[in-house]
Amino acid sequence: KQEVTQIPAALSVPEGENLVLNCSFTDSAIYNLQWFRQDPGKGLTSLLLIQSSQREQTSGRLNASLDKSSGRSTLYIAASQPGDSATYLCAVSQGKLIFGQGTELSVKP
Amino acid sequence: NAGVTQTPKFRILKIGQSMTLQCTQDMNHNYMYWYRQDPGMGLKLIYYSVGAGITDKGEVPNGYNVSRSTTEDFPLRLELAAPSQTSVYFCASSYIGLGNSPLHFGNGTRLTVT
């Protein structure tokens, strides 16, 4: 059974810092992996989708990597800003999306 | 485009009551999904649909029903509300399935059953 884990559950950093969020999964037979952002009281917003054949995807200050063999993905946020404060969730696709519990990020001014 | 719209935003039900959570999308997506999100947990798939007239169960379908009479609408029905159904419910849609295209989410319905 696929299990998706995100550690840490919460992270607080000062503004301007580069940071990495982690996502691990137990079964490497995935179609793709997505990273989402969730603001309080809101739905999820898709940030990046990495196909299983890809190693990374970039969008602005965000870079997501995927290493299927080790069951790991990272979301790199460059030059963090207070507006980046949110919960970040990863999800792997195996016919359906299986979500991690999320990392709550707080960027302090 | 409004994207995915869910109503109501909040609802309190008594045990045994029934209600329908509404979801509509204006992106002409074939795939639609209902998830529930409990505190500290990831999202769990309740039901999904690959097109009008076609629905299927997800991981946690017990206590819920769905219908898909049009491409745009995908309502979720709770027949006999139970405290275990207290949760935040999210509707989502996508252009293609298997997670191969980004999911678009509504803002959620926060349901409390007392």
Strand partners, B89: B36, B109
pLDDT above 80 (res B63): yes
Token pair, residue A93, equals 């696709």
At residue B94, the 3 state secondary structure works out as strand
Alpha-carbon torsion, ordered A8, A14, A20, A25, to 10 deg: 20
Nearest chain A alpha carbon to B100: A32
| The pLDDT value given to residue B53 | 95
User: What percent of chain B is helix, strand and coil (3-state, nearest 5)?
Assistant: 5, 50, 45
Q: Is the CB of residue A101 less than 8 Å away from at least one CB of chain B?
A: yes
The fraction of chain B above a pLDDT of 90, given in percent, is 87
| The pLDDT value given to residue A24 | 98
Sorting pLDDT into bands at 50, 70 and 90, what band is B98? Answer: low
| The pLDDT value given to residue B42 | 83
pLDDT tens digits, one per residue of A53-79 = 999 999 999 999 999 999 999 999 999
Contact indicator for B48, A96 with CB cutoff of 8 Å: yes
- Alpha carbons A79 and A75: distance in angstroms, whole number: 13
Residues 20-79 of B with CB under 8 A from A: 40-45, 48, 58-59
- Alpha carbons B87 and B90: distance in angstroms, whole number: 10
CA distance B15 to chain A (A): 25
pLDDT tens digits, one per residue of B13-42 = 999 999 999 999 999 999 999 999 998 788
Mean pLDDT of chain B: 94
Q: Which of B2-6, B68-72, B96-100 has the lowest mean pLDDT?
A: B96-100
Token pair, residue A60, equals 């602005």
CB spacing of B108 vs A43 below 8 angstroms: yes
| The pLDDT value given to residue B102 | 87
| The pLDDT value given to residue B40 | 78
pLDDT tens digits, one per residue of B66-81 = 999 999 999 999 989 9
Average pLDDT over residues A78-99: 94
Give the nearest partner residue to B41 out of A43, A98, A101, using CB atoms: A101
Sheet arrangement for strand B64-66? B4-7, B19-25, B76-78, B64-66
Give the nearest partner residue to B42 out of A31, A43, A101, using CB atoms: A101
Average pLDDT over residues B47-64: 96
CB spacing of B107 vs A101 below 8 angstroms: no
**Residue from A96, A98, A104 to probe the interface with B (highest B Cβ count within 10 Å):** A96
CB spacing of A41 vs B108 below 8 angstroms: yes
Using a CB-CB cut-off of 8 Å, the residues of chain A touching B44 are 99
Contact indicator for B19, B6 with CB cutoff of 8 Å: no
Mean pLDDT of chain A: 95
